[in-house]
Amino acid sequence: DAGVTQSPTHLIKTRGQQVTLRCSPKSGHDTVSWYQQALGQGPQFIFQYYEEEERQRGNFPDRFSGHQFPNYSSELNVNALLLGDSALYLCASSPIRDRPGTEAFFGQGTRLTVV
Amino acid sequence: AQSVTQPDIHITVSEGASLELRCNYSYGATPYLFWYVQSPGQGLQLLLKYFSGDTLVQGIKGFEAEFKRSQSSFNLRKPSVHWSDAAEYFCAVFTGGGNKLTFGTGTQLKVEL
């Protein structure tokens, strides 16, 4: 079992550009959540996808969007990048059909640097 | 609003010494609580979780945590720290709907040999 895999591992973009990050969930998991972790901070919830729909959203602007595919993999898109978007982006998967709070498994993250 | 507070930003302990990392939460309903560990440049690994029942929970790598409802706390402990425990530790609370987690700001643990 490969666990949660994210790509790419590192990325450098210029202000104003757009970026797409990818996540493959752990086998058997159908729910994917995305988190942003700024340097020295805890992860902040961006949004969650289940059955190819956004189910919950944190306090992030519309520049942050996502998608979930029929195979449960997911993409996070960020438009009009700002310097403040530089962070580690973490993907977490979980089996939502289990009771609430079931363990979320995290990927290694994508380190995004905006210059 | 739900929140998690980790009052200690940095903690340094000697190898072999005991460890306690503090976590306080604010949540109106019965909390589901977690401790995660993050090594440099890595993702998060679950150490342990509390859903209900016994308030003392055991986790991996010899860690344990005690849920105290009266104090709104979920402190992480380890009797004897190993150098490999140096990492950042995050306390988190499940805040409803799927598996949305609210994290604290983390405690950076340094282990002196």
What confidence tens digit (pLDDT) does each residue in B53-79 have? 889 999 999 999 999 999 999 999 999
Residues in chain B: 113
Read off the pLDDT band of B28 (50, 70, 90): confident
Partner residue opposite A103 with nearest CB, options B46, B96, B106: B46
Q: CB contact, 8 Å: B97 with chain A? A: yes
Mean pLDDT confidence for A49-76: 95
Q: Are strands B56-58 and B32-38 parallel, antiparallel or unpaired?
A: unpaired
Residue A97 C-alpha, separation from nearest chain B C-alpha, in angstroms: 9
What pLDDT, on a 0 to 100 scale, did the predictor assign at position B53?
84
> Are the Cβ atoms of B99 and A96 closer than 8 angstroms?
yes
The mean pLDDT value of chain B amounts to 92
Would an 8 Å CB–CB cutoff place B106 in contact with chain A? yes
- Residue B97 clears pLDDT 80, i.e. is over it: no
Q: Contact, B50 vs B67, CB < 8 A?
A: yes
How many residues are recorded in chain A? 115
The minimum CA-CA distance between A79 and chain B, rounded to whole Å, is 24
| A90 vs A5: CA distance, rounded Å | 10
Type and span of the H or E element at B16: none
Q: Work out how many CB contacts closer than 8 A connect A with B.
A: 79
Residue B98, pLDDT above cutoff 80: no
B17-to-B21, B39, B45, B82, B113 alpha-carbon distances in Å? 13, 20, 23, 9, 10
Report d(CA A75, CA A47) in Å as an integer.
Answer: 11
Burial class of residue B45 in the structure, from the number of CB atoms within 10 Å of its CB (0-12 exposed, 13-18 middle, 19+ buried): middle
